[in-house]
Amino acid sequence: MNKPISPAAGSGLRQRFVEDMTVRGFSEKTRRYYIRIVAGFAAFLGRSPDTATAEDIRRFQVHQSELGMHAPAMNSTVAALRFFFTHTLDRPDLSRKLIRLRYPRKLPSVLSVEEVARLLAAAKYLKHRAALAVAYGAGLRVAEVASLKVGDIDSARMLIRVERGKGGRYRHAMLSPDLLTLLRAWWRDGRRQGVMLPGGWLFPGQDPSKPITTRQLGRVVEEAAQTAGLTKHVSPHTLRHSFATHLLEDGVDIRVIQVLLGHAKLDNTALYTRVAARTVRTVTSPFDKIVALIGKRASAGD
């Protein structure tokens, strides 16, 4: 029986793979995930992945399908292997053999403005209310909220500096006057508690030298939603979805929203056009114009 071989395989292959990902700014979480994917592919082959053939790739994807793996998970595997084959092995010919699956994207859960207000009001502590307010008021991902430092709040330019965005991308998020007021209130309270360290995390965890975890922020949202009596499924990302949808409904250009969200592709932002109910309601149906025209003709005939 062949012994599964990791991407390292004694040839420095794993190290090259890690270096290629590091150079391109992949997060530690992504690097670990990609290594696990390639190691799983190697285990399936029973030999080093740099010996893979097009037929091996076909058999692997058939194997995944037979195991009942869902399309999003299979596509994540494709992303990891494509990177490995293209950048680490310089085998784009193998990369092209990997098949991405199309699947319908679920519409994101979105809260109304009133529901967001109830959720924030239900947060038990000022730190938690401020963190959720940043997720909604600036449209940040939960990991971006957790990674903020005090120095990332630029009150002079009314911007939030996001240095740990998805894919390691740097961007600026909006900082409204009311959000700044809330953050200053939390900063004063945190200083009084002795948890707001100089140059430290904006939302420290139980150990002030470490940031609040994304898991803890998830629990905060769940507890606040329950207290507020919200029946919808709510997560920290729901606040980001709601931010984008409410901006779109208020007439903000979709490309501006794309920049604020840090989306690399406009297609990802365009998803919110499918849930922006107020935008849909403000559009005049061509049928109404036809009815009006028929009415005018009928009046003229009288």
Please write the tens of the pLDDT for every residue from 130-162: 999 999 998 898 999 999 999 999 999 999 998
Does one domain contain both 276 and 157?
yes
d(CA 217, CA 132): 8
Nearest Cα neighbor of 272 from 236, 244, 234, 238 is 244
CATH number of the domain enclosing 24? 1.10.150.130
Please write the tens of the pLDDT for every residue from 192-201: 999 988 889 9
CATH number of the domain enclosing 264? 1.10.443.10
The residues that bridge with 287 in the sheet, in sequence order, are none
On the question of pLDDT at 284 being above 70, the answer is: no
pLDDT, residue 4, reads 41
- Residue 180 placed within a domain: yes
Does one domain contain both 74 and 154?
no
57 band by pLDDT with thresholds 50, 70 and 90 = very high
> Looking at beta carbons, which pairs linking 204-213 to residues 24 or more positions away fall under 8 Å?
211/146, 211/147, 211/148, 212/127, 212/131, 212/146, 213/146
Residues with catalytic annotation? 141, 166, 237, 240, 263, 272
- Residue 297 placed within a domain: no
On the question of pLDDT at 254 being above 80, the answer is: no
pLDDT, residue 24, reads 84
Total of domains in the chain: 2
- Residue 288 placed within a domain: no
pTM of the model: 0.66
Does one domain contain both 263 and 119?
yes
pLDDT, residue 245, reads 85
> Contact, 126 vs 184, CB < 8 A?
no
Structural domain that includes position 52:
13-95
Please write the tens of the pLDDT for every residue from 64-81: 999 999 888 999 999 999
Please write the tens of the pLDDT for every residue from 170-185: 788 889 999 999 999 9
d(CA 211, CA 190): 13
